[in-house]
Amino acid sequence: MFIHREGYSTLKKLGVGLGALCTGALLFLPRPLLRWVLLTSIIIFGFFTQFFRNPIRRTPDSDTAIIAPADGTIVAIEPTHESEYFRDQRLKISIYMSALNVHLNRVPVTGKVVYNRYHPGLYLVAFHPKSSELNERNTVVIERKDGQPVLVRQIAGILARRIRYYLREGQPVRAGDELGFIKFGSRCDVFLPLNAQVKVRLQDKVKGGESILAEI
């Protein structure tokens, strides 16, 4: 288990602040209250540390599989009109990431980035039906070597205030590579052809870079 680089600054600042708090408690508080402050500080630091964890994942080697771009729960599998890039009907698979999930996002297919756009927006709860269109978000389209495009959309949630995206247009990528990072509760949508063979069900738990969402 590793800590992702997105967490270095946050954890450093948090460690300094909690360290100062514990030092003050050691100097000025009675022992019963000191124990409470120390325990609370450990819990807080542990929570933020697990949020920025970067586990090793074994990405399936498949030319047909669509790999989950994020850890979380499947909250939608439905045909919908994708209005930004395809402008037609697509199969949408949505993954909701709670604050306890890994928030590093991964590339779902091997290919080339053909589209990458960031959009500022609102901060509706990530599972809201309109969050894919109205929230702060970043859209990436990756074209496989067979010409099949797959769209991934990072969507900020009510607590998320920063989407990190690492890819650029024209960049070759492999399934499982780092795509980006969203801090705190958020969501990832994947848009596929309507004839994609779905391998997950609603409320399934998936792992980014490892679980197979569908096959094309």
Q: Which of 41, 132, 186, 211 is catalytic?
A: 186
Sheet holding 111-119, edge to edge: 172-173, 111-119, 137-143, 149-156, 186-192, 88-97, 72-82, 205-206
Q: At what angle do helices 31-51 and 8-28 cross, to 10 degrees?
A: 180
Q: Could you identify the residue written with the tokens 């039906």?
A: 129
Residue among 209, 211, 191, 210 nearest 201 (CA) = 211
Cβ atoms within 10 Å of 168's Cβ, excluding its own:
9
Is residue 186 annotated as part of the catalytic site, yes or no? yes
Is 9 exposed, middle or buried (CB count within 10 Å of its CB: 0-12, 13-18, 19+)?
exposed
Q: Is 77 helix (H, G, I), strand (E, B) or coil?
A: strand
The catalytic residues are 186
